[in-house]
Amino acid sequence: MITSYQLRAARALLDIDQRETAELADLSVPTIQRMEASEGVIRGNVDSLMKLVSALEAAGIELIGPGGTSTSGGRGVRLREDVASPKVIRSRQPKSPAKSPAKSLAKSASKSGASRGAMARDR
């Protein structure tokens, strides 16, 4: 069994998005989205769940069941120690940091020579 929380944590450890997860598991993106939208244990087609778990394990993820050994108990996910780096083919470019609207406004105001006092009066 795998939970939606474990699936999202596994994707985070592998630094992959839903599309890449779908490609690894030979599933559709909507299937991955439905799985991640589940509450708790993912319910679905057994074949799809097996493909997903096998793909995650092949990429270096170890799913920990509720009775699995851990210091605090409960479910979890971890990257095996014998995996130096995740075995995932990267095809996307790293995301650029999002610019906040407030920073963009302040930046454009400073470029136009507006003072902070003028910006405060305009609010």
Residue 20 forms part of a structural domain: yes
- The half-sphere exposure of 29 on its side-chain side, counting CA atoms within 13 A, is 5
* Residue 23: burial class (beta carbons within 10 Å; 0-12, 13-18, 19+): middle
Task: Report the share of the chain in percent with pLDDT over 90.
Answer: 39
Residue 70 forms part of a structural domain: yes
pTM: 0.59
Residue 113 forms part of a structural domain: no
Question: How many distinct structural domains can be found in the chain?
Answer: 1
* pLDDT (0 to 100) of residue 48: 96
- Residue 21's domain is classified under what CATH number? 1.10.260.40
What confidence tens digit (pLDDT) does each residue in 83-120 have? 655 555 555 555 555 554 555 444 544 454 544 444 44
Which are the contacts of 86, defined by CB distance < 8 A and separation ≥ 6? 13, 14, 15, 59, 60, 79
Residue 95 forms part of a structural domain: no
Residue 25 forms part of a structural domain: yes
- Token pair recorded at residue 98: 């999002």
For residue 123, pLDDT beyond 90? no
Q: Which residue range forms the structural domain that includes residue 26?
A: 4-79
Distance, in Å, from the CA atom of 79 to the CA atom of 84, rounded to the nearest integer, reads 9
* pLDDT (0 to 100) of residue 121: 43
